[in-house]
Amino acid sequence: MGGQVLLFLWVLSLSSVLGQVSYSIPEEMPKGSLVGNMAKDFGLDVKRLKSGKARIFTPDSDEYIELNNDRGVLLIKNRIDREALCGQTTPCALHFQIILENPMEFYSVTIEITDVNDNPPSFEKNDVRFKISESAVSGAKFILDRAVDPDVGSNGLQTYRLEPRDNFIVKLHDQADGTKNVEMVLEKPLDREKHEHLSLVLTAVDGGEPQMTGTMQILITVLDANDNAPVFTQPIYKASIKENAPVGTVVLTVTATDSDHGSNGRITYSVSSILDHARGLFEVNDESGEIRLKGNVDYEKSRAFQINVRASDDGGLVDSCKVMIDVTDMNDNKPDIHIMSKSNIISEDANPGTVVTMINIQDADSGENGMVQCTMNNNIPFVMKSTTNNFYSLVTDSELDRERASDYNITVTCSDEGVPPLSSSVTLTLQISDVNDNAPVFERSSYEAYIVENNTPGLSIFTVKARDADWNQNARVSYILEDSSVNTLGTGTLQHVYNYEVCRTTDSRKSDCKFGRAGSQNVLIMDSSSTGTMQRIQNEKSILDEPDSPLEDQNDNPPQVLYPVQTGGSLVAEMVPRSADVGYLVTKVVAVDVDSGQNAWLSYKLQKATDRALFET
């Protein structure tokens, strides 16, 4: 590379400066490169240079340029770095003198060092970090570090490029001091939810040929702004819960998401609206969205609930969803047996088919849990008939007989078809009322009794007893002796005085002896019907049927003296001779007794004697 030679020659009158020459060379020329032929340029002979011991004089340093006296040329002694030599000062030049002796004279040399694009623009740091909110608006500016290019002029820093260009552009801003501020300007807003981290490259470009560049990485962290509302995963949630589920049962969990970060994305759940009947029954966990049962759910009261749940983030943005909760029926209600109408008492002559009770069955449960079947205890003369749905009537099935069973306990048991089934039962007590449908019956088919003769009227001789299976009035028995009268206690009493001896010897058909035949008489027995009418029952049992000798002898006759015959109560005189010996039979007393048996046995004894020693019997 040949230096551009600018030649200025002038002569100063009073000095020994004989000339001045300027060269222009680019920086960075290799050592030994020719700077300029100063011998030629100053019109000097190389011999003069030698004889004059030509040398470079510089107050500073002579490290860059050397003088070759043999050839009369200036050569590069050390590589020159314009930037090291002059920095940003332009023009950049080396000034020195070439001094000769004999005679002493000097020449001024100026070597302008021209810039070569040997430096790329460079940034102080390799990267720079920013935290920018996604809420930053278009036009927001961020100052970037400038790049430095030590080269000057067109080799110096010309411009910047920022890539990628999705969100930012780079703008240069002239400063008062002539420098330029580099600004990164937001053109299109950021979205943390799409890109939380951005990496851009700022390139500084110089104007050299070839162009040189320097880069710096710009790392951007996008800060969250609450620009997203929570969103439920479903607009409507459905769940079902068994009635009577225990408190604390998790019904379901609602979930909302929020794309924002931190507190902007922190979701709190709450119940936004709930109908009165669901109030107090459900609670939502504000953090997890879990909906739990808080009270008792009764299918029979409410079959479904609706809750509106709200999700809000800390920034106050909200979403809401509907939660529909169906309640499933459990078999938790027993059948209810309602007695609509009931007879407590029924007549024993009621016809089969008589309705005794009407029952209505209710079961609050649904479906099979509410389907009810009823049964009744066995072996009773009643049946249950289902008239219409859930209505039953209890009717008599056969004839009733109070005398066999005077009351019934009818137990109706109703069970539903749930699993397990629930049942309830009711016991009805039914009295059977009496009808006079039984005749009195004597305890015995015949009675036998003995009476003594000479009885007193009114004497009780025996008791007859008849029973009647009916009840109360219908069982009250009265006794009547046919053709005679018998008191109602059933005790036979004698109306006549009977004489054994008379009845034995006389015609027994005589009325006074008639008792012995009374047994063949019919006895009339009265009982009272419930209506109060008298009923005559013929040919009941007879009493005193065939007593051979119903009369018994009584010692009712004194002996009677037949001899000596007494007349008119006068004494009977007997004659005894004076000479009568001891043992002489005075007289014989003959007596009889009409009684029978022992009652007729006789014995004799002296009752009254003037002298006991004279007579004996």
Residue 294 structure tokens: 């808080």
Give Cβ neighbours of residue 7 (< 8 Å, ≥ 6 apart): 21, 22, 41
Q: Dihedral angle at the C-alpha atoms of 363, 366, 371, 374, nearest 10 degrees?
A: -10
Q: Which is nearer to ligand NAG, 312 or 396 (CB)?
A: 396
CB of 426 to ligand NAG, least distance (A): 13
Binding mask 355-394 for ligand NAG (x = CB under 6 A): ----------------------------------------
- Please provide the size of the chain in residues: 617
Q: Which is nearer to ligand NAG, 263 or 409 (CB)?
A: 409
CA separation for the pair 519, 484 (Å, rounded): 12
CB of 414 to ligand NAG, least distance (A): 20
Residues in 407-466 at the binding interface with ligand NAG, rule: CB under 6 A: 407-409, 429
Binding piece for ligand NAG, criterion CB under 6 A, among 70-78, 113-121, 370-378, 405-413 = 405-413
Binding piece for ligand NAG, criterion CB under 6 A, among 246-254, 335-343, 404-412, 598-606 = 404-412
CB of 432 to ligand NAG, least distance (A): 10
Q: Which is nearer to ligand NAG, 68 or 343 (CB)?
A: 343
Angle, vertex CA 240, rays to CA 238 and CA 242, nearest 5? 170
Q: Which is nearer to ligand NAG, 38 or 432 (CB)?
A: 432
Q: Which is nearer to ligand NAG, 64 or 408 (CB)?
A: 408
Considering the rule CB under 6 A, would residue 616 count as an interface residue with ligand NAG? no
CB of 358 to ligand NAG, least distance (A): 21
Binding piece for ligand NAG, criterion CB under 6 A, among 85-93, 259-267, 403-411, 523-531 = 403-411
Q: Which is nearer to ligand NAG, 18 or 394 (CB)?
A: 394
CB of 408 to ligand NAG, least distance (A): 6
CB of 360 to ligand NAG, least distance (A): 24
Residues in 270-289 at the binding interface with ligand NAG, rule: CB under 6 A: none
CB of 406 to ligand NAG, least distance (A): 8
Q: Dihedral angle at the C-alpha atoms of 80, 82, 86, 88, nearest 10 degrees?
A: -170
Cβ-closest position to ligand NAG: 409
CB of 354 to ligand NAG, least distance (A): 19
Which residues are registered as beta bridge partners of 253?
290
CB of 407 to ligand NAG, least distance (A): 5
Residues in 133-172 at the binding interface with ligand NAG, rule: CB under 6 A: none
Q: Which is nearer to ligand NAG, 240 or 429 (CB)?
A: 429
What is the size of the binding site for ligand NAG (CB under 6 A)?
A: 4
Residue 519 structure tokens: 């047994």
Q: Other C-beta atoms within 10 Å of 128: how many?
A: 18
Indicate the DSSP class of residue 166: S
Q: Which is nearer to ligand NAG, 113 or 346 (CB)?
A: 346
Selection from 589, 593, 594, 595 nearest residue 607 by Cα: 589
- 3-state SS, 338-393, equals EEEEECCEEECCCCCCCEEEEEEEECCCCHHHHCEEEEECCCCCEEEEECCCCEEE
Give Cβ neighbours of residue 420 (< 8 Å, ≥ 6 apart): 331
CB of 400 to ligand NAG, least distance (A): 13
Q: Which is nearer to ligand NAG, 192 or 402 (CB)?
A: 402
Q: 323, 345 in Cβ contact below 8 A? A: no
Ramachandran region of residue 520, left (φ > 0), alpha (ψ -120 to 50) or beta? alpha
Q: 290, 298 in Cβ contact below 8 A? A: no
- 3-state SS, 527-588, equals EECCCCCEEEECCCCCCCCCCCCCEECCCCCCCEEEECCCCCCCCCCCCCCCCCCCCCCCCC
List residues binding ligand NAG (CB under 6 A).
Answer: 407-409, 429
